[in-house]
Chain A
Amino acid sequence: NAGVTQTPKFRVLKTGQSMTLLCAQDMNHEYMYWYRQDPGMGLRLIHYSVGEGTTAKGEVPDGYNVSRLKKQNFLLGLESAAPSQTSVYFCASSSIAGGASQPQHFGDGTRLSIL
């Protein structure tokens, strides 16, 4: 039972490079999310998706793009990486069934450093 899988786990980029973070869930969840977490801070929502083909901005969307072409996958892209995007990125998913009580299930995170 894999749950939520993030790829890669670690990455170092140079300023201006681009990359895509991959998130896959095998729980048939409708909702998927991308967060970033900086030292001593909580989780801040970057983008989220309420279903295949739909995405929406979260709290800190600037500099990121996302796509959800398949229900099980949610991709986070950095077009031109900046040092301020050095962070730990978490993907999460949740089910719509059961309403507001449904928990979010998190991946193990991607640790990204921008030099």
Chain B
Amino acid sequence: GQSLEQPSEVTAVEGAIVQINCTYQTSGFYGLSWYQQHDGGAPTFLSYNALDGLEETGRFSSFLSRSDSYGYLLLQELQMKDSASYFCAVRDPDSWGKLQFGAGTQVVVTP
């Protein structure tokens, strides 16, 4: 099976930078995804990394190191609207259509 570990909560002030780490264990790797979920809302897709390195999308960036089974999501220039839960996820190697999600990191942005 697979397992993912990410911190349960991170608190930061507006304008700051937050890094959410995710370490994973899987018998077959098909990339690391990140999803955002606001309280009471649906998860929405943020990013996907299949290869090592940094992918940037506006204020958010995602990094992957396959040799370390590690990735992170970087949130820059934090805004109040970034307060949400962030989940990393990996594909099930036996059925890659399935995703295994981490327990999520709640990001709290304070004024």
Which residues of A pack against B, CB within 8 Å?
31, 33, 40-45, 48, 50, 56, 58, 90, 92, 94, 96, 99-101, 103-109
Asked if A101 and B31 sit within 8 Å, CB to CB, the answer is: yes
What are 15 of the A-B contact pairs (CB < 8 Å)? A33-B98, A40-B103, A42-B103, A42-B104, A43-B101, A44-B101, A48-B98, A50-B95, A56-B95, A94-B97, A100-B96, A101-B50, A103-B48, A108-B42, A109-B41
Asked if A106 and B43 sit within 8 Å, CB to CB, the answer is: yes
Asked if B91 and A42 sit within 8 Å, CB to CB, the answer is: no
A-B pairs, top 7 by smallest CB distance, nearest first, are A103-B45, A100-B30, A106-B42, A42-B101, A42-B103, A43-B101, A31-B97
Number of residue pairs A-B, CB distance < 8 angstroms: 52
Which of chain B's residues have a CB closer than 8 A to the CB of A109?
A: 41-42
Q: A42 vs B86: C-alpha distance in the bound complex, in angstroms?
A: 10
Asked if A42 and B42 sit within 8 Å, CB to CB, the answer is: no
Asked if B43 and A100 sit within 8 Å, CB to CB, the answer is: no
Asked if B42 and A104 sit within 8 Å, CB to CB, the answer is: no
Closest to A91 in B: B42
Q: A33 vs B100: C-alpha distance in the bound complex, in angstroms?
A: 12
Binary contact readout B1-31 vs A (1 if CB under 8 angstroms, 0 otherwise): 0000000100000000000000000000011
Which of chain A's residues have a CB closer than 8 A to the CB of B101?
A: 42-44
Asked if B87 and A48 sit within 8 Å, CB to CB, the answer is: no
Please tell me if B44 contacts chain A, counting CB pairs below 8 Å: yes
Asked if A101 and B42 sit within 8 Å, CB to CB, the answer is: no
Please tell me if B71 contacts chain A, counting CB pairs below 8 Å: no
Asked if A100 and B91 sit within 8 Å, CB to CB, the answer is: yes
Return the contact of A104 from the options B45, B95, B102 (Cβ within 8 A). B45
